Amino acid sequence: MQLTINRIPYDEVLRYLGYHGTPVPDALKKLIEDCISLTLQTITPQAIYRRFAILETPKGIEVKGTSLLLKGKSIREHLAITRICLL
């Protein structure tokens, strides 16, 4: 699978830098734009994935073949929605 990233959202960069509604100095704007451009020229996105069976238990979501136990309401809801979408 070939991945392509042709855009890095400027607003997301600001968010990760902690600029929430704060004025951004012109020098920093230019630096961010240059860094985004250089990053897009340099990166080679890659991914590896594997599918695992899951089992819903009272303790959480067990990921079969591993010792991973996903706890919490959000992961249950996410996986329930994913299952509905895949049907």
Q: Are residues 39 and 18 in the same domain?
A: yes
Per the structure, the complete domain to which residue 65 belongs is given by 54-86
pLDDT of residue 83: 66
pLDDT surpasses 70 at 12:
yes
Reported confidence tier of residue 20, pLDDT bands at 50, 70, 90: confident
Same domain, 24 and 65: no
Please provide residue 52's backbone torsions phi and psi, each rounded to the nearest 5 degrees. -130, 145
Distance, in Å, from the CA atom of 62 to the CA atom of 13, rounded to the nearest integer, reads 35
Q: Is the pLDDT of residue 86 over 60?
A: no
What is the per-residue pLDDT across 52-75, written as a single tens digit (0 to 9) for each?
A: 888 888 999 999 999 999 998 898
Q: Which residues contact 63 (CB under 8 A, 6 or more apart)?
A: 52, 53, 54, 69, 70
Same domain, 4 and 44: yes
Task: Count structural domains, the chain.
Answer: 2
